[in-house]
Chain A
Amino acid sequence: MGLMPRRLYGHLLLLVSLILTLTFLSYGHFTGKRQSEAYLKAMKRNAEVMTNNLAISCANYLVVRDYAAMEVFLLRSAELPDVRRIQVSDRDGKALTDIVHNTGSSPAILYGLPSIKIPSSVKGSIQIENDRIVIYQPITAGSLLGWVKVNYSMETVSDMKRILWRNSLLIGISGILVSFVLILITLRPPIRAIKRLTDFARRLDDLKGEQIPVEHSFIEIEQLGESLNYASLEVYSTERKLVEERERLAVTLRSIGDGVAATDTEGRIVLMNKAAEALTGWTAEEVEGKPLREVFHITEVEEKPLRKAFPLTDEETRKPADDLVERVLKTDSIGVHYNHFLTSRDGTEKSIADSGAPIIDKDGKIIGTVLVFRDVTERRKMEAQLLRSQRIEAVGSLASGIAHDFNNLLSAIMGYSEIMLEMAKEGDPFYKPANIIYNAAERGTELVKGMLTITQRKKIETKPVDINEAIKNSIEILRRTIPGNIEIITKLEEGIPLIMANSTQIQQVIMNLSINARDAMPDGGILTIETAVVGEGNGAVNGIHAEEGGFVNLSVSDTGLGMDEDTKRKIFDPFFTTKEAGKGTGLGLYTVHLITSNHRGYINLYSEPNKGTRFSIYLPITKVVDIEEPLKAEGLTGSGTILVIDDDARIRELCMDILKPLGYRVLLAGDGSEGIDIFKTMKDEISLVITDIIMPKIGGSEVFQALRTIKPDAKVMLFSGYSQNGFTDIDKLLKGGAKGFIQKPFTRYAIAYAIKKALSEE
């Protein structure tokens, strides 16, 4: 466009003006030139004719020498408009008459002028001098009489040119004005239409979807209007799609449980979802335009082999994570990182797994990044718990296996010591040792049960327990364990109700808490053990209700080192210990927690660093159930043939030694096959089969199935060193028709009672 106006009006006007101006200038120039040339030619011709006539007339005057008349004649002739000067001379150039006719005045005669320069030859001439036509014409009458010289003004030509120019200019200006008016009139409606369309286009963002009426006008404008209407619909449609898409994306983003943030290539946040807001503590509006690293404070743990196995963190291994955006932009993507930690706005730290990818436009250019942050704090905890559970399970499996063998051993010790006690009377020399052996075996049995309780969550066997009595029993042991610089104080409430509990486990709780208190007081202190009855409200807050409307409170306090908050949070975790390596198992308080939970109780912990710690255990007061009256010795006897199948010879012999004196015929089999063979041949004689569960080659389960195949109503009882809870096959067999389960080690009474009960059933 250059210097041209940008408005269509101006453009057209200037263009038309230029065209008209050039046209009229050209017209004026060429026409003026042509006309002036034609006029000049005609003027020359007229001047020549006139001059010739003057010469002829002057000849008459010169012949008669009437110079005055000639002067009058020439004076009149000089009145002609274009004549500016008439000079007549004699043949030698002597001026006879000289008349000057200036513009705007009458011709006047000049007197006393010098001679006139005349042509050298007797021939007229015409020439243009100083914008005048100068004509020399000889005056002859047979001979040369003189010369007439006439000056004709070319002002008429100039005037004519000027008039022509002026007219051309006027016509040009008129043409421009007329064109201007015509353009205005002609272009006003389309320009107005264009303006309306332009306004519509400018406001298209607000008017999208609407239609502008297309007036009948120039076809281009109609097409423009139709195009705008089409664009309006398209923009509306596209925007609606975009809004829907955006809404869908927003909903998708909102519904994503992971935090999602998008950034530009400079790392500034452009988008963040609700999950990310929850993670960071910032709102999406607040973070828009902020660098990602200012919002997502991410640290990471150095990946050491030990840390991979035990993903616990501490400040020593923490370092700022690499800039995620930079990593994405450098590598095009980043994989999932699990060892990152995000510190939110309020300082809360969360374990996160983050990943990212570049955002690439349709041209393949990276325009930003999208980063996903997953809160894996709970997962981390679960993983840790799973790991701990796996370790507990491993220990449990080990303990379970050991318990099985222990139970077999204890069965023999307990059984035979019991037999010895049956055979002897107080005062006999071996009575006391037998009694001690029996008691030790019984204690060993309880310990094994306790170990299985931890590892296998065995349903505890409870009986009415006086907690004060349990404390007193424990104190005797504690006094041998607690150093002298620790004072033990007991504050036991008198007449405290009995609770249904496992006394061994309750003692274990007291022991564990006391040992912990001891370790917390390396420089001595006071260990206080208290009991009290508290109201139901104490348990209500924990959703635990006591049947008898209250709880028995067992508190163990120390004046030791105390614990910080972090330690308090982890204190009941299995394998968590603050003790030096090798000195603590990390299972003491976990066991306390487990036993308390199994007794449907709860624990309150109060501790302050350097002041001490108090564990308050609340055990619900429950209705004490009646204990089945034990059978008397003579009630244990019976009759019938009992087939005992066990791979442990001591157990087989123990069964023989217990049952035979009670009146039973006892058959023994060392493994499943032997047992099945004996049963095949003596199935009608055998009243009851007692079989071990775990045996080489053929286990108790297969034996049970085989016996039932041989004799569908065969009475089979099970016994095992493994607990019933820890071995699912036992439940299956009991549901399948087995008559009962005897936990090893068993007492004489237990096995005799179970056999009698089984034989009495149909």
Chain B
Amino acid sequence: MRAQLKGKNKIQFTQRDAITHTNVFRHVILGYAAIGVSNIAALNKEPQGVSSQLKIIYKTQELPSHPLVAHPRVPEKIRQAVIDAVLKLAESNEGRDILKSIRLSKPVKAYYKRDYLSLERLELERYLIIGGE
């Protein structure tokens, strides 16, 4: 969002990390922040009492979910084996329950160029804060 607002739209603002999406909403509701940034899924999980007090004023482009990634030095054979294992795991209920606990309830095979290349172009590392604010 900062990449899009500051970098793309050139909008200046002071940012504060609210740690969690939910807390972002509380800050906005309580008046401690004028605007909160979160993802839509988090907002949708909020109860009606919270969401009814918020108003979406800007949406970013849609982004894929978090990927299960491997380091480049991991051999292709192993990577493929892990991919197959996860996908196979998702085929059974028991496997899906296991995956659900790590928030991968419906894994699909992703491709970097197709799915994540656009994010790279936003230069998100510029907004990375190490050790806090």
Contacts and interface: CB of A to CB of B under 8 A. Distances in A.
Contacts of B53: 111-112
Interface string A453-465: 0000000000000
B121 to A, nearest CB: 32
Interface in B14-57: 18-20, 22-23, 25-27, 29-30, 32, 47, 49-50, 52-53
Interface in A119-142: none
The 3 closest A-B pairs by CB, nearest first: A111-B49, A68-B22, A67-B26
Interface in A65-79: 65-69, 71
A68 B29 contact: no
7 contacts: A67-B23, A69-B20, A109-B49, A111-B47, A111-B53, A112-B49, A112-B53
Interface string A70-114: 010000000000000000000000101000000000000111100
Nearest to A110: B49
Given A71-B26, A96-B30, A111-B29, A64 B49 contact: no
Contacts, number: 37
**Overall SS of chain B's interface:** helix
Interface of A: 64-69, 71, 94, 96, 109-112
A71 to B, nearest CB: 7
Nearest to B51: A111
A207 B28 CA distance: 106
Interface in B49-105: 49-50, 52-53
Q: How large is the interface on B (under 10, 10 to 19, 20 to 34, 35 or more residues)?
A: 10 to 19
Nearest to B21: A68
B26 A68 contact: yes
A96 B22 CA distance: 14
A110 B27 CA distance: 16
Given A65-B18, A68-B22, A111 B50 contact: yes
A68 B25 contact: yes
Nearest to B32: A65
A109 B27 contact: no
A67 B19 contact: no
A69 B18 CA distance: 11
Contacts of B19: 64, 66, 69
Contacts of B20: 66, 68-69
A742 to B, nearest CB: 179
Nearest to B24: A68
Contacts of A71: 22, 26
A100 to B, nearest CB: 11
A68 B32 CA distance: 13
Contacts of B29: 111
A65 B27 contact: yes
A68 B50 CA distance: 11
Nearest to B29: A111
B30 A67 contact: yes
Contacts of B18: 65-66, 68
Contacts of A111: 29, 47, 49-50, 52-53
Contacts of A68: 18, 20, 22-23, 25-26
A465 B49 CA distance: 173
B69 to A, nearest CB: 28
Given A96-B30, A111-B29, A69 B49 contact: no
A68 to B, nearest CB: 4
Contacts of A64: 19
Contacts of A65: 18, 23, 27, 32
Given A96-B30, A111-B29, A66 B50 contact: no
User: Which of A64, A66, A71 has the largest number of chain B CB atoms within 10 A?
Assistant: A66
A498 to B, nearest CB: 172
A109 B50 CA distance: 10
Contacts of A66: 18-20, 23
A96 B23 CA distance: 12
Nearest to B20: A68
A109 B26 contact: no
Contacts of B22: 68, 71
B16 to A, nearest CB: 8
A12 to B, nearest CB: 66
User: Which of A65, A69, A94, A96 has the largest number of chain B CB atoms within 10 A?
Assistant: A65
A66 B26 CA distance: 8
Nearest to B49: A111
A112 B27 CA distance: 13
Given A64-B19, A110-B49, A111-B50, 7 more contacts: A67-B26, A68-B22, A68-B23, A68-B25, A69-B20, A111-B29, A111-B49
A112 B50 CA distance: 9
A96 B26 CA distance: 9
A62 B5 CA distance: 29
User: Which of B19, B26, B47 has the largest number of chain A CB atoms within 10 A?
Assistant: B26
Given A96-B30, A111-B29, A69 B23 contact: yes
A92 B71 CA distance: 51
A74 to B, nearest CB: 12
User: Which of B23, B47, B49 has the largest number of chain A CB atoms within 10 A?
Assistant: B23
A543 B22 CA distance: 160
Contacts of B26: 67-68, 71
A66 B29 CA distance: 13
Contacts of B47: 109, 111
B49 A67 contact: no
A96 B32 CA distance: 11
Contacts of A112: 49, 53
A67 B19 CA distance: 10
Nearest to A71: B26
A111 B30 CA distance: 10
A94 B50 CA distance: 17
Nearest to A112: B53
A201 B82 CA distance: 108
Contacts of A109: 47, 49
A145 to B, nearest CB: 13
A259 B93 CA distance: 130
Nearest to B50: A111
B23 to A, nearest CB: 4
A64 B22 CA distance: 14
A113 to B, nearest CB: 10
A94 B26 CA distance: 13
